[in-house]
Amino acid sequence: NIEKTNLLKMGFKRFVQVGRVVYINYGPENGKLAVVLDIIDNNRVLVEGPTTGVERQQMPLKRVNLTDYVLPIQRGFRTGNLTKAINDFDLEGKFNSSSWGQRLSNRQLRAGLTDYQRFELMLLRKQKSYLLKRAVAKAKKAAK
């Protein structure tokens, strides 16, 4: 029985809970991080992000993506205490260093490129691919 329980672990790890950090994916707050302060019902949560400019408001769960981060806070935390908890947790730094945050910053960087910069990027990508293919071919030839 013990072996079976180890095999049957739940794979889902991001639960809607107080303190869960969310990424807002729709509306005027799109692209900002906030923290769940309370769960209103099955479809809505109370969120606030004082460091990112998100005022305390109710938000449908369809408009947020759950992140891996959970702050150690109590239900209904006040704004000042929440700001302190966010700063102590270094939320912005952790999110920006994650693969999700890096992907978002790369997308934002590429959206700001001009036509000529995209052309230069294409040429550099081609050059990198060519050099990589040459190195692989050389290594294959040396292995024979």
- For 97, the token pair is 């260093």
| pLDDT tens, N- to C-terminus, the chain (144 residues) | 556 556 667 778 889 999 999 999 999 999 999 999 999 999 999 999 999 999 999 999 999 999 999 999 999 899 999 999 999 999 999 999 999 999 999 999 999 999 999 999 999 999 999 999 999 999 999 988
pTM above 0.85, yes or no: no
